[in-house]
Structure 1
């Protein structure tokens, strides 16, 4: 398939439920638990428990309707605000938040969290804590200068983004422009956490191929430095499984803070 014919996450019909089922379900045939679940969970728990990143407000801008990356955050932030570009992604996430029939099952991710934290007593409370902290799931428009106009958000102590930059950026300039918009949501001295894929050009949802922006660790570091961020931690992990669902080379986790 010609890359020019690939679908675009923020333009075409992105099936958020199928994305969850393909990449993040408890089905033994899912693409890669090690990369999509364990890697981000381990790094987020480690980063937050170090105690440097915490506060009143965390703003999340992530791919699809994922929520497992927020389980670690609910112990360190009073309020979590989730911003989505697509109505379908909002509907799917709210189904889980409101505990409606047919909501996606995240019990396997919850168990991974408490196993990594080595505190089985948290198993019953973890999802409830996330739901309590997750006060708002709102639509944003990243093509606008003010992505939330006319809504005014409280400045965030931390912005967290998992996979979104990889799927909406067309090129390096686009990526840096979105990083700038993400950073505008932060308090002075606030933190940003980016979880993404290294050198991915496509990913599949069902029978459809979607375009991805291919970049490496060096570029991501320079993009953050260019917006005044100091990188506190960066980890790159080579992919653990080979399949035709996507072609990324590695997973990457970066935590940084903005100079005041």
Structure 2
């Protein structure tokens, strides 16, 4: 084997200079084409969000039947239950929780806000950041009444529904920033946005698969946000299974990377995460309300090594 390797090196070194330069140029050209294709795909995804309507999105996905708190098999109560368990098992702790790609929603941090002293919300779209700020600043202009969500999580915590106003005050107190983010950049947040060790925990719900043109881009984006997390920090990831599109507003159809559980696990492993728990929710027929073609939802709890 050693002789063969040495022979290959010798043969390569004896190639005509023009041939070597042409081959090197072709490699660089192919790399450039691949990078340009990736950039074009990401840009096309960003263009899809130009007409995103937070109020319509919330109406489609965060009202009954998908947010029916009287049903155990409704999507939103299932997600809130997973989040509650993840944050109350005793292994997640620290000072800083970052929500990656918050969208116009708050449900994903209602359990975590009790654990952390500082919480950072993020989103690529200004319209979503503005929606979040309206609720946080208590301007009474939020597009969705989050009271039933607050009440449900309080019940899960054994506090009773009447404690919801305390939880709302707690959430408003610990959110320190609502920041722009681009998960397709190696450094998704502006320099200095987080302390140098990174966040103690990340939450990301329905973000990466819905802003990535393909599986490779999803995996890269997962690696990028992993850079925001300190070693041994935790990742809570919720996303769609088998989904190819969803409605982001009237007439606004946004493509999604159709994922399965194996692909999610592989992407986590490639980016240095250890899977701690994977749960899957399969949509009942009456939850398929025509605003997407999702077949299921995954919940992941993982640790960065």
TM-score between both structures, scaled by the size of structure 2? 0.77
Cα pair 1:160 1:192 within 8 Å, conserved: yes
Tell whether 2:188 aligns with 1:147: yes
Alignment of 1:98-109 (within 5 A): 98-103=137-142, 104-109=144-149
Deviations 1:30-58 (A, max 9, x none): 54545542121100111111011121001
Report the number of matched residues: 251
Structure 1 residue 243 displacement after superposition: 2.3
Aligned partners of 1:175, 1:162: CA distance in 2, in Å? Answer: 13
Aligned partners of 1:180, 1:44: CA distance in 2, in Å? Answer: 22
Structure 1 residue 140 displacement after superposition: 1.8
Deviations 1:51-98 (A, max 9, x none): 111210011013521101111001111111111101111000000000
Specify the alignment match of 1:213 in structure 2.
257
Q: 1:227 to 1:243 in 2, by over 3 A?
A: same
Matched residue of 2:145: which SS? Answer: coil
Unaligned runs of 5+ in 2: 1-40
Q: 1:12 aligns with which of 50, 71, 79?
A: 50
Cα pair 1:19 1:64 within 8 Å, conserved: no
**Greater CA radius of gyration, 1 or 2?**
2
Deviations 1:75-130 (A, max 9, x none): 11111111110111100000000000322310111111122223215323111111
Aligned partners of 2:115, 2:94: CA distance in 1, in Å? Answer: 6
Aligned partners of 1:190, 1:232: CA distance in 2, in Å? Answer: 12
The structure with the greater share of residues assigned to strand is 1
Q: 1:8 to 1:14 in 2, by over 3 A?
A: farther
CA RMSD across the alignment: 1.9
Unaligned runs of 5+ in 1: none
Tell whether 2:276 aligns with 1:232: yes
Aligned partners of 1:243, 1:17: CA distance in 2, in Å? Answer: 17
TM-score between both structures, scaled by the size of structure 1? 0.90
Cα pair 2:108 2:203 within 8 Å, conserved: no
Cα pair 1:31 1:245 within 8 Å, conserved: no
The structure with the greater share of residues assigned to helix is 2
Cα pair 1:23 1:31 within 8 Å, conserved: yes
Matched residue of 1:248: which SS? Answer: coil
With a CA cutoff of 8 Å and minimum separation of 6, indicate the structure with the bigger relative contact order.
Answer: 1
